[in-house]
Each structure stands twice: as structure tokens, then as C-alpha cells.
Amino acid sequence: MSATIPVSVSGSRPLSNDLWQQYKHFWKPLSVPAKTLLLKEGEVSRKAYFIDQGSLRIWFNSQGKDVSFQFFFEGEGVSSFESFFKSLPSHFNIETLEPSRLYYLHKDDYEQMVAEAPIIKDVILEAAIDRMANYTQHFLSAIKDTPQERYRKLLEERPHILQRVPLQYIASYLGITAVSLSRIRNKMQ
């Protein structure tokens, strides 16, 4: 495994530690082509993923429209947090953007892991709080910034996204149409 298994299971930065190393054998390798659906809207998530190579996106269907919600790359963990931890139907689809080499943790193995080492829950709680802070920032940006500002911030803070994610997905992520994003890009020369 070239990247380190992260503490987070839903998109936070990777954060290795002894505890996690101890249980990394629970993570199983998986290689999939682009556009592979790893989790389908409405299904209960039984797996948390870690990206060794490639990229994923989380999206959902809104009145026939494909709306991207978040993008993930090497070294990041991905899951439908609420679905995985609470065994509820997922509101989202999880799909590969590129051919990807992944590791996944099955819910049964996760259960065994926390049964053996309950302290792992602290790690999960911290990850959940981090995730929440992240979503909060997303939401705040959506209500306080214009689409131009959101695009400019994305360009500054996560330029790699622009190089690896189709613009139509980025447009829906910014809450605008592909046409409007194209105009914004044109205006910024």
C-alpha cells in the first residue's frame, strides 16, 4: 500500500497512528475502472473506502439532474457517513471519476475493530467533527459568496480539482449551470 490508511472515513486528511496501523489488515484492496458506482442512492452503505490512487465523487439525483456534492483524491477516506455508521439508506451515490485503486473496510470488520478497541470511536468522533466543520464551511460559502467567488476559491484552494474533474460536475458542485461556469471562466480570462 503506497498511501497510509487514514483516521477519517469520510474525506478528512489522512492521519496515520499506531492504533490504525494495528488494524490496517481489515482494509481490503480493490481496483475499479472509471465511472464505477460504489454505493447507490437508497442503499445502506456497508463499506468505507480509502483512495490509494484515482478519484471519487459523491453525487445525487435532484429532479433528474446529476448534482455533485464532493470530490475525493489519493490519501482520502470516503463514505456515506450517516449511512455507514447508522445503517440508514444513503442519500448519495459514490462513484469513481477515474480508474482507481482503493481499499475498503467492511462494516462487519469495523464492528469487530471497535469491539476490540473502543477508543477508535474517539478517532471517529474527531473525524465526524472535522467533517461537520467542513460541511459548515461549504454551506456558509454557498450562502455568503457569489458563484464567481466560490469558483475563485476553488481555484486557489483546490486547483487539482480543476485538472481532474469535468467542468459540468464542478458547475453543479458550485450550484450553477455549466453555461454559467463557462461564462465565469471566460470573464476571468
Q: Where do contacts with DNA occur on this chain (CB under 7 A)?
A: 146-148, 166-168, 175-186
Interface with a copy of itself: number of residues (CB under 8 A): 33
Give the span between the Cα atoms of 72 and 78, in whole angstroms: 7
Which of these ranges, 17-25, 42-50, 61-69, 159-167, lies near a copy of itself under the rule CB under 8 A?
A: 61-69
129, interface contact from a copy of itself, DNA, none, CB < 5-8 Å by kind: a copy of itself
162 lies in the site for a copy of itself, by CB under 8 A: no
Q: How far is the CB of 56 from a copy of itself (least distance, A)?
A: 17
* Grid cell digits, residue 59: 453525487
Q: Kindly state the smallest distance separating residue 151's Cβ from a copy of itself, in Å.
A: 13
**First-to-last CA distance in the chain?**
41
One-letter amino acid at 166 equals P
Instruction: Quote the least distance from Cβ 121 to a copy of itself, whole Å.
Output: 6
Residue 166: which residues within 8 A CB-CB, separation 6 or more? Answer: 97
| Binds 39: which of a copy of itself, DNA, none (CB < 5-8 Å by kind) | none
26 makes contact with a copy of itself (CB under 8 A):
no
Q: How far is the CB of 160 from a copy of itself (least distance, A)?
A: 21
Residue 60: contacted member of DNA, a copy of itself, none (CB under 5 to 8 Å, by partner type): a copy of itself
The entry of DNA, a copy of itself, none near residue 166 (CB within 5 to 8 angstroms by kind) is DNA
Which of 51, 174 has the CB closer to a copy of itself?
Answer: 174
Residue 122's binding partner out of a copy of itself, DNA, none, with CB under 5 to 8 Å set by partner kind: a copy of itself
Q: Is 41 in the site for a copy of itself (CB under 8 A)?
A: no
- Give the CA distances from residue 40 to residues 95, 100, 104, in Å, rounded to whole numbers and listed in that order: 9, 18, 16
Q: According to the binding rule CB under 8 A, does residue 153 interact with a copy of itself?
A: no
* Angle at 34 (CA atoms; ends 30, 169), nearest 5 degrees: 125
